Amino acid sequence: MYLICNSDNLELINKLPTFAKNLQMNIAALVSGGVDSSVTIPLLKAQGYDPHIFYIKIGMEDQDSFMDCPSEEDIEITTWIAKKYGCKFDIVDLQEEYWSTVVKYTIDTVKKGLTPNPDIMCNLLIKFGAFKDKHGDEFDKIATGHYATNYETEEGTFLSTAVDKVKDQTYFLAQINYLQLEKTMFPIGKLPKSEVRRIATEMKIPSASRKDSQGICFLGKINYSEFIKNQVGEIPGEIRELETNELLGEHKGFWFHTIGQRRGLKLSGGPWFVVKKDIVNNIIFVSKGYDPVSKYDDTINLEEIHFLNSNHNYNNLSKIKFKIRHQSEFNSGTIINGENQRAILSDIKISGIAPGQFAVIYSEDEKTCVGSAVISE
């Protein structure tokens, strides 16, 4: 059963005596103006909390650059929400921190020929990082609009998956540290997206019908390739077929391409998929067909594994579920975490194993997000 949140019961809640409200806990609510984070506010108010709303400004529109990440509309929506629900509201400017950490990480990673994940690093370094460093001591919990849940045992806090398996965002939270995890609060984690939309519409939240955000926030209206072009440049290189070494065409730099990529190759007679990169010689290798054998492997080599709850002993962890990208489906496998090898052995061969990307590890019942590791070559 889902929480029924409408204007009638919100008015009733606001009339309740102080002792009936949950005012003992100080909540910082990170609201971007989007539908998910916006709905956290009526949900928190309905539970008796009095959240302090923060809008984190990370777009680079004030910098002398080509990027334009307009935040004016989002700030207007967030301001409207704060006024509607009588919440304190502040804007936190983390542009400098975002550029020096998340953006730098992204650029450095693509220069190495690897696949970055800025969204994972944003949660670690900005939302639960720089923001927590500045304001974390003032609040008991940091509430966000992530589709995720958490639970407590005698060993502490564990990150767990959302009710809505399609929208579940634990993949993007799998690098946060334990002190950050303890602060997390996910008001919409037990609701399906359809219910979140319904509440937003009922509450007349301006972003109720807004499409879900796509891509990386700091890019604004600029697509990923344009951003990389501006930061790294272009150097022409060869595109060759892996199986025959035949020269098929030319690309503008290996950093524009990731393993498993199909679009943007501009090759005839396809479909073609990127299956290998030679970063020393700036060569992209591709294979032909909708399901080429060269796309698949059953071994995912890992760098050091980060476990979310360091209080729990994972020495006997063996059979797991895992994801190598943000998707609703889980893969099954066995984890090896030894001195000589760290890897996931998948039960079946899978495609799109991209070094630099994150492999996220889950319990066999798909309920607990155990941790994550960078995929190595």
Residues forming the active site: 122, 217
**Of the candidates 119, 181, 133, which has an alpha carbon nearest to the alpha carbon of residue 358?**
119
Cβ(324)–Cβ(300) under 8 Å? yes
Cβ(121)–Cβ(86) under 8 Å? no
CA distance 147 to 142: 14
CA 203 to chain centre: 27
CA distance 40 to 264: 38
Burial of 138 (0-12, 13-18, 19+ CB in 10 A): exposed
CA distance 371 to 171: 9
Counting DSSP H helices and E strands in the chain, the numbers are 10, 18
Whether the bond between 42 and the residue before it is cis, its omega within 30 degrees of 0, is no
**Distances from the Cα of 75 to the Cα of 1, 108, 125, angstroms:** 33, 31, 22
Q: Which residues contact 256 (CB under 8 A, 6 or more apart)?
A: 225, 228, 229, 264
Give the angle 95-215-219 at the CA atoms, nearest 5°.
40
The backbone torsions φ and ψ at residue 237, rounded to the nearest 5 degrees and listed phi first, read: -145, 175
CA distance 367 to 32: 27
